[in-house]
Structure 1
């Protein structure tokens, strides 16, 4: 027996489809605002500023990272920082800014005179190694030191060597810092996802009041209007593209992904390639890739927004669903008393709660609940 033959089940399915479409609609509003305000980038930057503040040395390493040319060029506006910093780019930039900082460079000559020897040909590795020895003890300096020690052990295989493989050592060093950055951004992503859900709830409730997205009213409407119920189910059947497409919407399941995967660009295969010029060339190439992907993503988002809104308008007109400005809570409604208004507010809040779960949640629920029945 088909689940759609059971009235209460088909009504519930129609409601869930409505919630999924409404959550997607709200997520487009939020995504537009997030893109305009560069919210993800500012959220990530503020978090890194807190985490990378080194009070013992009086320096904020995040500030130096964001002011570095290869990171700064990722943003078109200083007030709108990018969140498209790959773990590899972050690690390489951190290594460079630590080693080239005045705190380190002002004492390099002094350490050389004291016979502090760092046997590396690469200036990048030499400067970073000096930094682990020069900087005052702190949690961040302990991280730098641990990263360097780990890289040295892995590259040497536990054996002393007068001429270590510097390319291999650099690779292990960046890998260590990449992993640390990945773990850091995972926690950041969870906090951002929680913040996004709260915003989707408020947006869902506000839009629900303006255009009357009342879940209680919709349930009654679908029960009393099988034609409208069939229309929205048919819409879901006829538009399978909205289901996979929503997975790419960063306000859905992928909202937690604040940082992209590392690009395929690598730094050299031998010690001679670990220098300032090769690092800059690799980073600028990576920046170009990130920018092109970002522009393509924005164009795709704008196109999908327009197409989705048009299809939703057609669905509302065809099914005569009581949604739109003329049904809003502030319209004059003869015969409505305070209990009716309370129920209306409750229905709108339910819609806001549904929006906060995100469209992927509802589409996934539909898939699991109905299997091949829809």
Structure 2
């Protein structure tokens, strides 16, 4: 009996965290798209890689690259390595020149200002020994390595954004993880209703709206209607809010998978869906 209560409490808490994480994920995506971080970061990174404004402009305005952009005049958010290598070599030695000769590419690179690209690409071209395809392949590999670093920087920025958004959502809804768990433990009706809704939602994400309605009218200990009256109470409240913030920042996929696993302990099996925006 006690074990089933604990499982239901865990399911309910995980479900609330999942719903908050879905909201946070949508906000994160909206902010990233509005700020256009991916395309701006890629534009800046490519210009740093190529170290020559004219060459960078030729590459970014190349039809193969420009065609990947979501809107005309904007830098794409992603450029495949093979496409990037092809456009760089084409920008260095246009089709009107003898593009099949690596030495012509080497001559153009040698004329660029001293830079990291020059240091990396010249030995790369020498190693290719006149094989243009091999030279492009090696250049694409260098680009991939550079993109991994850029991707790491983007992920760190998104992690920071996720933490900030999670904190704002936690404060907006006043979700204290400690009070939430205590409330579910003490209220069998609320606990059972929320656990049942969570178990159903773990199988079918289209039921999220119904589950949200149950949360809003289910007597959960969320919001700011009751505030602590002493230092110990505030310490507990702040701790609970911090716990919620960290939990929400973990993301909806994390809580969806955990919810599936916990729900299976109640005999609910596993879900086949992935978290999505609640349908309206």
Deviation string, structure 1 residues 87-123 (Cα, Å, up to 9, x no partner): 22222122222335xxxx9xxxxxxxxxxxxxx9536
Q: Does 1:47 align with 2:45?
A: yes
Q: Does 1:362 align with 2:255?
A: yes
Contact 1:4 1:10 (8 Å CA) reproduced: no
Task: Check 1:241–1:196 CA distance in 2 against 1; reply closer, same or farther (3 A cut).
Answer: farther
Q: Does 1:198 align with 2:196?
A: no
Task: Check 1:6–1:95 CA distance in 2 against 1; reply closer, same or farther (3 A cut).
Answer: same
Q: Residue 177 of structure 1: which of 116, 130, 139 is its match?
A: 139
Q: Quote how far apart the aligned CAs of 1:126 are.
A: 6.2
Contact 2:201 2:207 (8 Å CA) reproduced: no
Q: Quote how far apart the aligned CAs of 1:369 are.
A: 5.9
Contact 2:12 2:195 (8 Å CA) reproduced: yes
Matches of 1:344 and 1:200, distance apart in 2: 21
Q: Quote how far apart the aligned CAs of 1:128 are.
A: 2.0
Task: Check 1:45–1:139 CA distance in 2 against 1; reply closer, same or farther (3 A cut).
Answer: same
Q: Secondary structure at the match of 2:175?
A: coil
Deviation string, structure 1 residues 307-358 (Cα, Å, up to 9, x no partner): 78745532423533344xxx24xx6x47744543443333222211112222
Task: Check 1:8–1:334 CA distance in 2 against 1; reply closer, same or farther (3 A cut).
Answer: closer
Task: Check 1:234–1:132 CA distance in 2 against 1; reply closer, same or farther (3 A cut).
Answer: same
Q: Residue 230 of structure 1: which of 192, 210, 233 is its match?
A: 192
Task: Check 1:369–1:317 CA distance in 2 against 1; reply closer, same or farther (3 A cut).
Answer: closer
Q: Does 1:344 align with 2:243?
A: no
Q: Residue 92 of structure 1: which of 77, 86, 94 is its match?
A: 86
Contact 2:202 2:259 (8 Å CA) reproduced: no
Contact 2:47 2:53 (8 Å CA) reproduced: no
Matches of 1:371 and 1:175, distance apart in 2: 48
Q: Does 1:353 align with 2:252?
A: no
Matches of 1:312 and 1:62, distance apart in 2: 51
Question: Over aligned residue pairs, what C-alpha RMSD do you find?
Answer: 3.5
Question: Which runs of 5 or more residues in structure 2 are unaligned?
Answer: 269-280
What is the TM-score with the length of structure 1 in the denominator?
Answer: 0.59
Q: Secondary structure at the match of 1:6?
A: helix
Matches of 1:17 and 1:344, distance apart in 2: 20
Matches of 2:210 and 2:34, distance apart in 1: 24
Q: Quote how far apart the aligned CAs of 1:27 are.
A: 0.8
Matches of 1:121 and 1:334, distance apart in 2: 76
2:77 paired residue number? 83
Q: Quote how far apart the aligned CAs of 1:229 are.
A: 2.5
Q: Does 1:319 align with 2:212?
A: no
Q: Does 1:221 align with 2:114?
A: no
Matches of 2:237 and 2:207, distance apart in 1: 26
Q: Quote how far apart the aligned CAs of 1:367 are.
A: 4.8
What is the TM-score with the length of structure 2 in the denominator?
Answer: 0.76
Q: Quote how far apart the aligned CAs of 1:66 are.
A: 2.5
Q: Quote how far apart the aligned CAs of 1:6 are.
A: 2.8
Deviation string, structure 1 residues 175-207 (Cα, Å, up to 9, x no partner): 222222222222222222222122111111111
Aligned length: 265
